[in-house]
Amino acid sequence: MSDSPKPLSPFKSALRFMKSFQVLAILTSLTGLAFLVMDGMIDGQWDLVTSGWNNVKIFLSETGPPNWSVLEARSYPTCEERYDVFCSIAYIGMLETIKIAFVSTVFGFIGAILLSSLAARNLSPVWLSVAIRILLAAMRSLPSLLWAILFVIVLGLGPLPGILAMTFYTIGYLGKLQYEAIEGMESAPLEASRATGMSRPEVFTNVVVPETSNHLLSQMMFMFEYNVRHGSVIGIVGAGGIGYYINNYLQFQMYDKVFSLLIIIFLVVVIIDFISMGVRSFVNEKGDVRRPSWLTVMLPGKKAAQIHHGIVAEDED
Amino acid sequence: MKQTLLDLKDLDVGYSQPLIKNINLTVQSGEVIAITGPSGVGKTTLLRTISGLVRPLKGAVELRVEKRGGLGYIPQKLGLIRHASVEHNIALGSISSSEKMQMFSRIRSAAVLGFILSLFLSFFQYPFGGALFFLCGPGILITSVLSQRLLHQQKQTIVWNAMKAVRLSDKQHEPVRRLSGGQQRRVATARTLAQSPSLIVADEFLSELDDANVTIVIEAMLNIIESGSSLIMVEHNLVRAKQLAHRIWTVENGTITEEVIEDE
């Protein structure tokens, strides 16, 4: 019996060499297939792409630089606030969008967590979990825009149909993410608590929620960000928020103002992402690790390491 | 007077095929049983079957302990909530511990439900519901707050004693994920102590521990065994098994043989 591993045959070595390119081969094949499908769909009219580019240039030249007058107070009603910006269209619209997103995320989260606890296979019997999954699928099969149209027809224009539309969609979407997170949790804590004779609600509140808190928080923050972005879309059908103003400006071809409102939405989404990062650091393991500061990122490696470790040493003292 | 806590009758354990066949054994109160044998012979499956997590393929597991909180289970992977604090993890044991706790918990649930119901009635059954709410609401609210306070005090005492027993009182608010492997095993032990079950089923709970940690955990376990609880544990260290256990169950070739350890 020899100690060294058996050498591979030339055929097997060649196969192993080819295997190292398999990811590249799969990606190339998929891209090629996608191009073929697209070619069939546009009947080979690839010149549309080049002509479209000219339209983009015209659009950008007409849009021009963003028009920040959206941050100035509206001429009517008279502004009684200390700062003009609080009476501006951007502020009023964005605030209403954030309010709609907040309310629908909170209501949606509560609805979703109740339903997802019943839909998770490791917590509920099959018949119940299947029934709840069908309900959740039905709720998210209609996008929030269609829910909004439905509620605008039923309840009329304003923020209420927007809130209801986004709450319904949030329950459907968040419910799925939550029951998948619950099903993905380790079985040991569940088994340890079940063996002690805890009831299902006790297991859910005392074991499942703290164990999956990182995922639940992350999903809630993602949904809030998603609702802020979609709040601007559903406003277009009259369900309130900044989308209402974007729609108005689009109708009057005031693209420069649309541009500035889009920049504001982008900034709000970035801020929410940072808040989300901060909130999640309370419950995930990354919160335990000291990250290098911005200052040390800019410095050369040796100096950065010196400063970084110096800070650690001070803390330990 | 010793009581039979566990009676295994003609038991076959396994998932689709039996791993261990024809088990006929009993466990008395105050006994320590060590299960030994090579890996993969079905020791963990036997513990899971006793704990009610796996159905027996044949025969019966007769547990003569309280349905709620009578059995404490320490899985091999400990089953701790990594993001929660040491205190929260240990308090999980106290949820299903004493009858007093359960009584307070029921009073609290009933009071909260009553408060919500009377509030609901006050909205929809005006003026009768409103009058009922003003008459009963404050009483229900005070009962709820008082029972919650008593429940909290009782829980705090149980958790604190368990934490002291495994010498983790200085880590009360620390998330479990920040503790070392040995400290995490002590938390799992404290969770079971807080539950004070009649029968403890522990799967390799002394493995990966240094001598100092083994001493702490064993001391804590022996205290609860002296009060009449029993312990069934999987233990690979035969010397330690003989020191601790009254009987050793050796699993080999699909059967269990029992060896009684004489007191020295």
Considering the domain architecture, whether residues B177 and B112 belong to the same structural domain is answered as yes
Q: Residue A313: which pLDDT band, with cuts at 50, 70 and 90?
A: very low
Q: How far apart are CA B191 and CA B195, in angstroms?
A: 6
Instruction: Indicate the residue of A190, A196, A202 with minimum beta-carbon distance to B195.
Output: A196
The answer to whether position B76 is within a domain reads: no
pTM above 0.90, yes or no: no
Question: pLDDT at position A131, please?
Answer: 95
- The mean pLDDT of A177-197, rounded to a whole number, is 88
Instruction: Indicate the residue of A191, A202, A214 with minimum beta-carbon distance to B75.
Output: A191
Mean pLDDT, chain A, rounded, equals 83
Torsions phi, psi for B198 (to 5 deg): -80, -30
Contact B51 A191 (CB under 8 A): yes
Instruction: Indicate the residue of B75, B83, B92 with minimum beta-carbon distance to A188.
Output: B75
Is pLDDT at B38 greater than 80 in this prediction?
Answer: yes
Which chain B residue is nearest to residue A204, measuring alpha carbons?
B92
- Chain B environment of A198 (Cβ under 8 Å): 68, 92, 95-96
Provide the CB-side half-sphere exposure for B172 (13 A, CA): 8
Contact A206 B195 (CB under 8 A): no
Structural domain of residue B148, as residue ranges?
Answer: 85-183
Considering the domain architecture, whether residues B129 and B178 belong to the same structural domain is answered as yes
Mean pLDDT, chain B, rounded, equals 84
Contact A195 B52 (CB under 8 A): yes
Considering the domain architecture, whether residues B164 and B205 belong to the same structural domain is answered as no
Contact A189 B74 (CB under 8 A): no
Q: pLDDT tens digit string along A77-127?
A: 777 777 788 888 888 889 988 998 999 999 999 999 999 999 999 889 999
Judged by a CB distance cut-off of 8 A, whether residue B74 touches chain A is yes
- The mean pLDDT of B232-258, rounded to a whole number, is 89
A161, A239 Cβ separation under 8 angstroms: yes
Considering the domain architecture, whether residues B58 and B13 belong to the same structural domain is answered as yes
DSSP output for chain A: --SSPPPPPHHHHHHHHHHTTHHHHHHHHHHHHHHHHHHHHTTT-THHHHHHHHHHHHHHHHH-S--GGGGSBPSSSPP-SSSGGGGBHHHHHHHHHHHHHHHHHHHHHHHHHHHHHHH-TTTS-HHHHHHHHHHHHHHHHS-HHHHHHHHHHHH-SSHHHHHHHHHHHHHHHHHHHHHHHHHTS-HHHHHHHHHTT--HHHHIIIIIHHHTHHHHHHHHHHHHHHHHHHHHHHGGGTSSSHHHHHHHHHHTT-HHHHHHHHHHHHHHHHHHHHHHHHHHTTTSGGGGSPPPPHHHHHS-HHHHHHHHHHHHHHHH-
The answer to whether position B147 is within a domain reads: yes
Domains of chain B: total = 2
- Chain A environment of B69 (Cβ under 8 Å): 196-197
Distance from CA of A285 to the nearest CA of B (A): 8
Q: Residue B227: which pLDDT band, with cuts at 50, 70 and 90?
A: confident
Give the residue, B20 or A77, on which the prediction is more confident: B20
- Bond from prior residue into B127 cis (ω within 30 degrees of 0): yes
Considering the domain architecture, whether residues B153 and B89 belong to the same structural domain is answered as yes
- The mean pLDDT of B131-136, rounded to a whole number, is 73
Judged by a CB distance cut-off of 8 A, whether residue B52 touches chain A is yes
- Chain A environment of B178 (Cβ under 8 Å): 288
Question: pLDDT at position A170, please?
Answer: 94
**Could you say which of B183, B217, B251 is where a domain stops?**
B183
Query: What is the torsional sign of CA A102, A106, A111, A117?
Result: positive
- Chain B environment of A214 (Cβ under 8 Å): 83
Considering the domain architecture, whether residues B45 and B107 belong to the same structural domain is answered as no
Considering the domain architecture, whether residues B150 and B213 belong to the same structural domain is answered as no
Contacts of A305 by beta carbon, 8 Å cutoff, 6+ apart: none
Judged by a CB distance cut-off of 8 A, whether residue A288 touches chain B is yes
Percent of chain B past pLDDT 70, that is, above it, reads: 93
Considering the domain architecture, whether residues B179 and B98 belong to the same structural domain is answered as yes
Q: Residue A134: which pLDDT band, with cuts at 50, 70 and 90?
A: very high
The answer to whether position B77 is within a domain reads: no
**Does the model's ipTM exceed the 0.90 cut?**
no
The answer to whether position B70 is within a domain reads: no
Judged by a CB distance cut-off of 8 A, whether residue B133 touches chain A is no
Domain of B248, CATH number, reads 3.40.50.300
Q: pLDDT tens digit string along B48-79?
A: 999 988 999 999 999 888 877 888 899 888 88
Considering the domain architecture, whether residues B203 and B132 belong to the same structural domain is answered as no
Question: pLDDT at position A213, please?
Answer: 84
Q: Residue B131: which pLDDT band, with cuts at 50, 70 and 90?
A: confident
Rg (CA), chain A: 27
